[in-house]
Structure 1
């Protein structure tokens, strides 16, 4: 069985997408197409390229996907996505959207207009970098003279391309559950919470278009920069999706809940 998937952003929490996709694969449910942004676009690009979830996890565990900048002024960002570009250049086998065996739609934010940009033609890697460019954290990505930033600004559950192309029975995976507010939280935790509060409304708007919506609650214990917890994050996604799918099975065949 094949169904369209939409993968949210979420920094290193994005590795939960892999666990969720593994759980669906064990139920013989595979991507018909993927729409994704930010961290989800990394996962989406590699899945559509033909990698299995566990293969992607192993590649990611042994590679850094971002790095700190050497400080220079005027300061425009805190980190660099050069390691991600090198990672994708090395491991992505199909470099153009048109060559992928599974259709892929990547979204970013046009910094000139503030509108959502959809990439589904041409080079994949620049689109992924654009989709991952969190403002102030990473530099904007320039493509054809236009500056692009993280697609989650416009829509962090970016199913718009799937609706545009009339895909049905969409499965949404969102990896940013809000933890309880802690006024004593570290700066990075507060930044993470503030960022997702600002964009959560566009997520709520899109949930209703999903036949199944997966949001593993225990991911709230992990930060977007938890570089050393990729395996744990993967397992959180896998275990939660397994539980959800078993619940659906108890009530009837899975396809009756997503078709």
Structure 2
């Protein structure tokens, strides 16, 4: 009998990697809840953007805090427009968002998390990927979630940091290099642009090109980890659409991802 995904994870050192996705922390919360219900106890978490936020709460032992917070979250809670003349440019200052993180995360730094945590941001100043595994937690998560145009870049370590999903859709390699794992299970929330017809506008084509590059990047990381002897399983779910102007489906979004992940855990899989 072919083993299920849950069988492949049982009794092994499991790392969990959560992808970037616009407001994807709802779906990621459902994903991690399903893993927990199946008895999976990760030895490490990694995430980019919304994945970094969810990974931080999970690693801090506060997934239930996040699950309780999401249905109550409203746009006004994090909507703090910056002045048009403010540099660096961004619609939102991010101070209210940082306040939410500071109020609800039970630990102040990576070292105090119950489980090792890896987050990724994009260092716009140096043009490189920035990996965080130590130090203050809120600034790292804020930087990883700082989607260009929506949020101002976050000044850190002598540079400006922005959304980790720009350079690392699913931080698989960063996780495997920071934590000893036998297998990584990744939650992929696919970029919407890849499922749409080819755009006809220059900006649309640019967005499509970026989505293709990021998609290709995480797939190469899967190959790299497998070549190093690390088993990798990618669970892809289609999230309920959530935006700053459409936030009433929080409970449905979490439940939908949790149900889809539960089904994936019960499905037969190869060796990864």
Q: TM-score range by the shorter chain?
A: 0.7 to 0.9
Detail structure 1 runs of 4+ shifted over 3 Å in the superposition: 177-180, 189-198, 207-210, 223-226
In 1, Cα distance between equivalents of 2:157 and 2:111: 19
SS in 2 for 1:79: coil
Establish whether residue 235 from structure 1 lines up as the match of residue 255 from structure 2: yes
- What does residue 202 of structure 1 align with? 217
Contact between 1:48 and 1:104, CA under 8 Å: does it hold in 2?
yes
In 1, Cα distance between equivalents of 2:206 and 2:91: 14
How many Å apart are 1:84 and its aligned residue?
Answer: 1.8
Instruction: Give the TM-score taking structure 2 as reference length.
Output: 0.79
How many Å apart are 1:10 and its aligned residue?
Answer: 0.8
How many Å apart are 1:192 and its aligned residue?
Answer: 7.6
In 1, Cα distance between equivalents of 2:56 and 2:19: 13
Q: Judging changes above 3 Å, is the alpha-carbon distance between structure 1 residues 94 and 74 closer, same or farther for their aligned structure 2 residues?
A: closer
- What does residue 164 of structure 1 align with? 177
| Structure 1: gaps (5+ residues) | none
How many Å apart are 1:80 and its aligned residue?
Answer: 3.4
- What does residue 38 of structure 1 align with? 49
- What does residue 62 of structure 1 align with? 72
How many Å apart are 1:143 and its aligned residue?
Answer: 1.2
Alignment RMSD, CA only? 2.8
How many Å apart are 1:78 and its aligned residue?
Answer: 1.8
2:266 to 221, 246, 253: 246
- What does residue 211 of structure 1 align with? 232
Deviates more, 1:60-69 or 1:1-10: 60-69
SS in 2 for 1:88: helix
CA distances 1:125-168 after superposition (whole Å, capped 9, x unpaired):
00011101112221110113211111111111011222213423
Contact between 1:67 and 1:79, CA under 8 Å: does it hold in 2?
yes
Contact between 1:176 and 1:196, CA under 8 Å: does it hold in 2?
no
Instruction: Give the TM-score taking structure 1 as reference length.
Output: 0.83
1:73 to 79, 85, 90: 85
1:116 to 91, 114, 129: 129
| Structure 2: gaps (5+ residues) | 1-10, 226-230
In 1, Cα distance between equivalents of 2:70 and 2:242: 17
Equivalent pairs counted in the alignment come to 246
